[in-house]
Amino acid sequence: MLERVVRILEAFTPTDRALTVGEVSRRAGLPTTTGSRMVADMVEHGLLTRDDDRRVRVGTRLWELASRASPTVSLRELAMPVLEELHRAVGHHAQLGVLDGEQVLFVERLSADQAVVNYTRIAARLPLHMSSSGLVLLAHAPAELQERVLAGPLARLTPATPTDPGELRRRLADVRRDGFVVCPGYLHPEATGIAVPVRDEHRRVAAAVSVIVPNDDRARDHVPGLAAAARRIEQRLAAS
Amino acid sequence: MLERVVRILEAFTPTDRALTVGEVSRRAGLPTTTGSRMVADMVEHGLLTRDDDRRVRVGTRLWELASRASPTVSLRELAMPVLEELHRAVGHHAQLGVLDGEQVLFVERLSADQAVVNYTRIAARLPLHMSSSGLVLLAHAPAELQERVLAGPLARLTPATPTDPGELRRRLADVRRDGFVVCPGYLHPEATGIAVPVRDEHRRVAAAVSVIVPNDDRARDHVPGLAAAARRIEQRLAAS
């Protein structure tokens, strides 16, 4: 039963926020009669809502229940004033990501109107090897996870996306030594991601803070400001 | 079954993010054996997670599923650059609220480090009559909802909280005429809330944007900036 609830919720994505009952059922792999009954049940309990045109959406009540006590909310709230200042200084995109499974999950993103392209959204995921946040988190992840990720498959989005396990291994060592990573054009030819780790009071890497800026000679100039932002988030974590 | 899932999720609050299975069961009104079995089931599907010390929390997976396609996410994303600028200009707290049932639900809040006291959090609710956002939303709500709210009970948090139905009715008319509301000390003696409506392309009030500032003579100075922010959010809504 819970399995089906999760499959129904998984049918909705940032680009497909409103679906017909038929679409929900098909995506969840359920017969339409079952899907239709479950959707009605979930609507009744506020987990889903129905539009005026009968299309189905994730319910505000579910968002509320999931957000008000979520494990990411305290990290996000502590980081937010720092992320705002970073965003003001850098423009474009500033974001906060955590390791979840074998991917980076973005818990916050601030974007400017005229910002360079970016693939992340709030609550969106990216593979670890192709994003700056992912490489920071992978560099400090357990060896077992590193091996699993390096064993592939390693998808390539642009000619610059690193997909050679040996090269990636060297990049991870560089990240640990340098304390930051610069990823020009890994996700899109016009964008550079830069990320630094955020450590908790036990010096474990708890998150990555990153900016996405144009892919040009000045991208690296943002490293010191990004590192300073990470230190400030760490101080706030330690003080909380 | 879904009823129980919702009751279990309702056990978690912004101040009680980690609970024992016993606490979850008690708050959900379930026998511990039932609560324990359901928690295990929800942990297995990522709706809940267990801490190192066996306490239970809302799962990151649930947050992700609820957030990436939530009905509030597009409003929030459109409003965010404007809210950031407003927050930079005003300091303290800037927030975005929507009407949900008989309360205001805050979908975003930006806070400065040295900000004046504020009771709202992301995904938190307040009664309509005691907050500036709530009064804006109530002023433009269906007459039926207005009557239900004015019929009470109308809780009082400070001597300034308006609880007289006649006075509230006049306030609502003022809000419709003026296009803003200033609420000095309604929630806390030291804080003033100021809110303005945000209208969708059909000129229906879709949200309230508000700031919380110190309760002093300069609070009203923020009205023009707040109104300008609302206009910019409306333009972004119309263009989306």
Q: Dig out the tokens for A132 from the structure.
A: 């700056």
Residues B82 and B56 both lie in one domain: no
Output the CA–CA distances (angstroms, integers) from residue B116 to B105, B211, B212, in the order listed.
Answer: 20, 11, 7
Residues B155 and B228 both lie in one domain: yes
Average pLDDT, chain B: 93
Residues A199 and A88 both lie in one domain: yes
Domain with residue B50: its CATH number is: 1.10.10.10
Q: Is the pLDDT of residue B118 over 90?
A: no
Residues A11 and A77 both lie in one domain: no
Q: Are A136 and A110 in contact (CB under 8 A)?
A: no
pLDDT at position B104 is: 96
Residues B24 and B103 both lie in one domain: no
Q: Is the pLDDT of residue B83 over 90?
A: yes
Provide, as residue numbers in chain A, all residues whose Cβ is less than 8 Å from the Cβ of B53: none
Q: Is the pLDDT of residue B198 over 90?
A: yes
Q: How many domains does chain A have?
A: 2
Range of the domain at B41: 2-67
Using the CB atoms, write b or e for A47-60: b if 16+ within 10 Å: bbbeeeeeebbbbb
Residues A134 and A194 both lie in one domain: yes
Residues B63 and B83 both lie in one domain: no
Task: Tell me the shortest Cα–Cα distance from A11 to chain B, in angstroms.
Answer: 9
Last residue of a domain, one of A67, A91, A113: A67
CA angle B32, B24, B28 (to 5 degrees): 85
Task: Tell me the shortest Cα–Cα distance from B58 to chain A, in angstroms.
Answer: 5
Contacts across the A-B interface (CB distance below 8 Å): 166
Provide the residue type at B240 as one letter: S
Residues B56 and B86 both lie in one domain: no
Which residues have a Cβ under 8 Å from the Cβ of B195 and sit 6 or more positions away? B97, B131, B132, B133, B135, B136, B180, B181, B183, B208, B209, B210, B226
- pLDDT-based confidence at B74, cuts 50/70/90? confident
Residues A120 and A202 both lie in one domain: yes
Q: Do B2 and A45 touch (CB under 8 A)?
A: yes
Last residue of a domain, one of B67, B91, B120: B67
Residues B74 and B57 both lie in one domain: no
Q: Do A42 and B124 touch (CB under 8 A)?
A: no
pLDDT at position A206 is: 94
Residues A116 and A55 both lie in one domain: no
Q: How many whole angstroms separate alpha carbon A235 and alpha carbon A233?
A: 5
Q: Spell out where chain B has E strands.
A: 48-50, 56-58, 93-100, 103-111, 125-127, 181-184, 191-199, 205-214
Provide, as residue numbers in chain B, all residues whose Cβ is less than 8 Å from the Cβ of A58: 65-66, 69-71
- Region A225-229: what's the mean pLDDT? 97
Last residue of a domain, one of B22, B45, B67: B67
The C-alpha torsion from A2 through B58 and A203 to A133, rounded to 10°, is: 60
- pLDDT-based confidence at A97, cuts 50/70/90? very high
Nearest to B66 among A42, A58, A110 (CB): A58
Q: What is the DSSP letter of B129?
A: G
Q: Dig out the tokens for A41 from the structure.
A: 């049940």
Helix, strand, coil shares of chain B as percentages rounded to 5? 45, 20, 35
